[in-house]
Amino acid sequence: MIKPHGADALNPLFVSDVDQREQLITRSKSMPQVSVSSASAANAVMLGGGYFTPLTGYMTKADALGVAREMKTDDDLFFPVPVLNLLQEVSFKIDQEIALLDPNVEGNPVVAVQRVEGIEQLSSDEINEIVEAIYGTLDPAHPGVAAFLAQGSFVVSGPIKVLNFSYFETDFSATFRTAVQIREEIAANGWEKVVAFQTRNPMHRAHEELCKMAMEATQADGCVIHMLLGKLKKGDIPADVRDASIREMVEHYFPENSVMVTGYGFDMLYAGPREAVLHALFRQNMGATHFIIGRDHAGVGEYYGAFDAQTIFDTDVPGDALQIEIFKADHTAYSKKLNKVVMMRDVPDHEFEDFVILSGTKVRELLGNGVAPPPEFSRPEVAKILMDYYQNL
């Protein structure tokens, strides 16, 4: 199986021993109680599940600046996005252990315990440098930029021990999986070549066929549909609705035992190219050998070019940085000429009117009016679930 990033084995930071975990939970009650952002809590969940292997905790200021400038931490580890615990204020000291309180769970339980190795403040210029490098813009209307700027300027670095997986494990028990669990299931299936597909949206016909095209082209043994379960921008479809629609699609339209439907506990960054590289990194960590990146991957609005998330692997990512292979996909749509979903680059003889293409706005309008999109665009079983959701808003 493909090796994890920067290590021979995964490095999950979740305290799996029940007795040790209970002792740490008890001890955490006497530690400084620190409310963290949703982003910091999601980073803890990803560290706990092994997705951010080989990291041992939150990065330093030097790491964050190095990652922003060169995609390298201070000790020369390739990493595309800073993994930080940013706070607005600090009332503890270096070498203390602090209890990190989960903002996304009622009662704010401790999600992790951190040994504080560094407390550093970012200047406004440094914050802007990081934001512009990661998001490609300083526009506060960008949802990822707004979320980053709201966290604070104090970088609290140091190793962590993760005590739970926040709301992800309870609210999405059938779907949430750690990188450790996905690797174990891939091994149990006997899969060697594995395609991963990232989604924060429901999957329509084009997405379905894209997974099938990638599996055929790479001669993969299976596909892991890996959906983001964390915080999204206003207007995005909730994870439980996406989960139900994707499972319905897989059950009816994929060969049996060829697809794993899974999810991970992370907040969407909407960072386009940089987030695409991050997505590839933690798909390698979960055991995938190939990763699909299509048009406007992890994008939002008009901040990124249609295929910037593909070209970054050619221009900015060293050839030996990641072992996972990128399956670069073009825009996919249903061809009325060929009566099937195709990648547009593969049919140069087609005109625009030869495709069935609907805007997101048009699809939402149809669903909200109880009208299913054409079957060339969306499977009827998927459309039914989405219509029920939109009509109950």
Active site residues: 200-201
Structure tokens of 132? 């512009």
| DSSP letter (8 states) at residue 292 | E
Answer whether 387's CB lies under 8 Å from 372's CB. Answer: yes
Which of 248, 262, 250 is CA-nearest to residue 383?
Answer: 248
Q: Which residues contact 352 (CB under 8 A, 6 or more apart)?
A: none
Answer whether 88's CB lies under 8 Å from 22's CB. Answer: no
Which of 165, 85, 82 is CA-nearest to residue 120?
Answer: 85
d(CA 38, CA 103): 6
Answer whether 27's CB lies under 8 Å from 93's CB. Answer: no
Tell whether the torsion through CA atoms of 181, 86, 144 and 274 is positive or negative. Answer: negative
For Cα atoms 150, 151, 154, give the angle at the middle one, nearest 5 degrees. Answer: 130
Task: For 132-160, give one letter per residue: b (16+ CB within 10 A) or e.
Answer: ebbbbbeeeebbbbebbbebbbbbbbbbb
Beta strands in 102-151 (DSSP E): 110-115, 118-121
Q: Which residues contact 306 (CB under 8 A, 6 or more apart)?
A: 295, 296, 331
Answer whether 326's CB lies under 8 Å from 360's CB. Answer: no
Q: Kindly give the pairing relationship between strand 57-58 and strand 154-162.
A: antiparallel
Q: Which residues contact 329 (CB under 8 A, 6 or more apart)?
A: 210, 213, 214, 292, 293, 294, 295, 343
User: Residue 289: what are its φ and ψ, rounded to 5°?
Assistant: -100, -20
Answer whether 239's CB lies under 8 Å from 172's CB. Answer: yes
